[in-house]
Amino acid sequence: MKIKLTFWRVVFVVIMVLGLYSSYIRYFHGLGAVSNMTDQFPWGLWIGFDCLCGVMLAAGGFCMVGAVYLFNVESLHSVVRPAVLTAFLGYVLFIVGLLFDLGRPWYIWHQLIYMNPHSVMFEVGMCVMTYTTVLFFEFLPNVFEALKWQTPIKWIKKIYPVLIVLGILLSTLHQSSLGSLYLIMPSKLHPFWYSPALPFFFFASAVAVGLAMTIFESTQSAKAFGRQLELPVLVTLGGALLVALWVNLLLRVEDYFHRGLLGQIFKPSYEAYFLWLELILTFAIPITILSFKKARLSPQWLYLASIFTVLGFITNRLNIALIGFETYVGHHYVPKWTEFSITLMIIAMGFALFGAAVKYLPIFGEEHEPAVHPSLPQNEVEAQRAFASPVLHNAGD
C-alpha cells in the first residue's frame, strides 16, 4: 500500500514528532522543564485549552442528543452520530490532556477511592468519567453496525433512554461546574471574568459552542469526505445558534450591569483589550452575520459565523484561565513551545481519529437506518405502511 504525501499528512507527522519529543520532556524531565508554569501560575495552557475549551468543544454531543432524542427534533437526525463521535473523542482526548497536566497522573484513580464531595474538581472528575462511559455506549452501535452484530445493538437500544437522560444530566452538571471551579478565586481572577454566575456562563457557552461546532463539523466533513451538505440542518442549527448567542450576551450584560462594571469594560486596559477581542469574536461578528436572513440560509455564512463563535468562546475561556490571573500574579504567562506542541498533538490526534472513524464506521451513512433510534422510526414506517396497504387493497378492487 502506498501512502500519498499530502500537505496535511506532512503537517500531521511534524506535529506528532514534536509532540512525542515534548511528551518525552514531560515524563522524563518533569512539568518544570516542559512548561512555563510556576508557583504563581500553577494552571497554564493545558488547563485553559485542553480542559476548559476541550470539554466545551465536545458539547455538540449532548446538544444534538438532547435536540434529537429528548426534544424529538427529527430534522437534525443526521448530525447526531458525528456529534456523538466528536464528543466521545473530545472527552477521551480531554483525559489524555489531563494525563499530561496532572503532576502524578498514575494516581488519577485516587478520585474513586479518596472522594472529597466538597470539591468541585471531584464532581467534574466523576461526571467526566461517567459521561465518557455514557458516550462510549452511545458511540458503540457504530462499531456493532460495522461488524453487523445485531444482538448487542438491541441491548443498547433498550437502555438508550437511560443513556440519553444520564448523558444530558451529567453534561449539565460538569459543563457548569467547570465554571464553578473558579468561584473560589474571587480575589485572584479579574472582575471582568470572575462572576458568581460563572456556572451559568459555562453552561450557556457550551450550548452555543455545541451548536456552532456541529455546523462547523458538518460543513468541514462535507468538504473533506465529499458528502452532500444538508442545508436544512445547517439552517435549523444557525437559527438556534443565534438564539443561544443572544442568551449568552444578555447573561453577560446583565452580570456586568449588576456588578456595576458596565462603565469599566469600555475603559482601555490590558484586560479590556482581551475582553473586547472576546466580545467581538463571540457576539458582535456572529450575531451580525446571523441577523441577516440571507446569511442564515447560506452555508458559507453559517460556516463563518460558527467559526467566529467557536474562536470567541475559546478566547473567553483562555481569558478566564490565563489572562484573568496576570494582574493578580504580577507577570505574564506565555506557554513554552513544548506546551503548545503537546496541545497541538492532542488536537491532531482528534482529527486523525475522527477521520479514521468516518472511514471505517457508518458515521455519515445515509443508507443505514439509524440503529439506536427509540421506537419512533418503526412506528413511522408502520404508519406509512398502514397508509400504503389499504390504498393497494383499494387498487386491487
Residue ranges in contact with other proteins by CB under 8 A: 27-33, 37-40, 42-43, 69-72, 101-105, 107-108, 110-111, 114-123, 125, 161, 164-165, 168-169, 172-173, 177, 180-181, 183-188, 199, 374-376, 379-380, 382-383, 386-387, 389-390, 393-394, 397
Which residue type, as a one-letter code, is found at position 32?
Answer: G
If DSSP codes are grouped into helix, strand and coil, which group holds residue 38? coil
Closest CB 177 distance from other proteins, rounded Å:
8
Q: Which is nearer to other proteins, 7 or 114 (CB)?
A: 114
Q: Which is nearer to other proteins, 254 or 382 (CB)?
A: 382
| Separation of first and last alpha carbons in the chain | 61
Residue ranges with strand state E in 16-146: none
Closest CB 301 distance from other proteins, rounded Å:
31
Closest CB 181 distance from other proteins, rounded Å:
7
Q: Which is nearer to other proteins, 370 or 374 (CB)?
A: 374
User: What's the rounded Cα separation, in Å, for the pair 272 and 267?
Assistant: 7
Q: Which is nearer to other proteins, 69 or 354 (CB)?
A: 69
| Residues making up the chain, counted from first to last | 397
Distance set, CA 144 to CA 62, 140, 147, 150, 153 (Å): 21, 6, 5, 7, 7
Closest CB 202 distance from other proteins, rounded Å:
11
User: What's the rounded Cα separation, in Å, for the pair 73 and 63?
Assistant: 11
Which residue type, as a one-letter code, is found at position 380?
Answer: E
Closest CB 83 distance from other proteins, rounded Å:
18
User: What's the rounded Cα separation, in Å, for the pair 79 and 366?
Assistant: 11
Closest CB 323 distance from other proteins, rounded Å:
15
21 Cβ contact partners less than 8 Å away, ≥ 6 residues apart: 338, 341
Which residue type, as a one-letter code, is found at position 22?
Answer: S
Q: Which is nearer to other proteins, 226 or 390 (CB)?
A: 390
Q: Which is nearer to other proteins, 269 or 375 (CB)?
A: 375
Q: Which is nearer to other proteins, 110 or 223 (CB)?
A: 110
Q: Which is nearer to other proteins, 169 or 277 (CB)?
A: 169
User: What's the rounded Cα separation, in Å, for the pair 84 and 156?
Assistant: 15
Closest CB 68 distance from other proteins, rounded Å:
10
Neighbours of 235 (CB within 10 A): 17
Closest CB 171 distance from other proteins, rounded Å:
11
User: What's the rounded Cα separation, in Å, for the pair 80 and 78?
Assistant: 6
Which residue type, as a one-letter code, is found at position 25?
Answer: I
Residue with cell 429528548: 70
